[in-house]
Amino acid sequence: MKTKDDFLNGQILLIDKPLEWSSFQAVNALKWAIRRKFNIKKIKIGHAGTLDPLATGLLIICTGKFTKKIPELQGQVKEYTGTFTLGATTPSYDLETEVDHSFPVKHITEELIKATTEQFLGEIEQVPPIFSALKKDGKRMYELAREGKKIEIKSRIVQIFEFEITQINMPKIDFRVVCSKGTYIRSLAHDFGQALQSGAHLSALRRTKIGDFNVINAVSPLAFKENL
């Protein structure tokens, strides 16, 4: 069992973030559980890389002196699995917003899908989604997007180390991606749809690895609280 000093001196906690929870909610749940259990007035705690509410999976949470490790952990290579839905786009590139355009999919074959993944291997240029937590002029971009403001977003270079299609059940395709820090899987879904001369959006996402840390070793926030 962990002690009060363990958490204050520093812990790396592996959490399996539930669907529809924000990363902030997960951090908050752990913070309050630790404070209540050990009667601590204040404890440093933070996560090493946001997961969208509609994504599940590995969230690394650091406490105490280990919060200094967050930048190093954020820079680690990440692995995701999930699903693209072909034939339709959304403004947020995922299910947070409604479908805005539909596209043909009859020309898309299994061979075309698998061949198209090769265009996205290595260093690629990517434009982050307008509905993202990145800041512009001091405001989060998703706030500006919801206000209907036009935003110019600069592209960035990211790296895709592995991109594998694991199942095809049209119009849904399952994938596994290993990528660098700063990669938006939602943008990959959008760009992949365009490369297929169609459209696509991200309909499921799970982060499975960050560096050497694996979601199979993670626990839910509820399980963490119960076993504290």
Please give the radius of gyration of the chain, using alpha carbons only, rounded to the nearest integer. 19
- Rounded Cα distance between 30 and 62, Å, is 10
> Dihedral of CA 151/142/162/69: which sign?
positive
SS3 121: coil
Q: Residue 127 burial (CB < 10 Å; 0-12/13-18/19+)? A: middle
Contact 183, 33 (CB under 8 A): no
Q: List the catalytic residues.
A: 52
Q: Residue 183 burial (CB < 10 Å; 0-12/13-18/19+)? A: buried
- For residue 145, give every residue at least 6 positions away whose Cβ sits within 8 Å of its Cβ, in sequence order, or none: 91, 92, 130, 131, 151
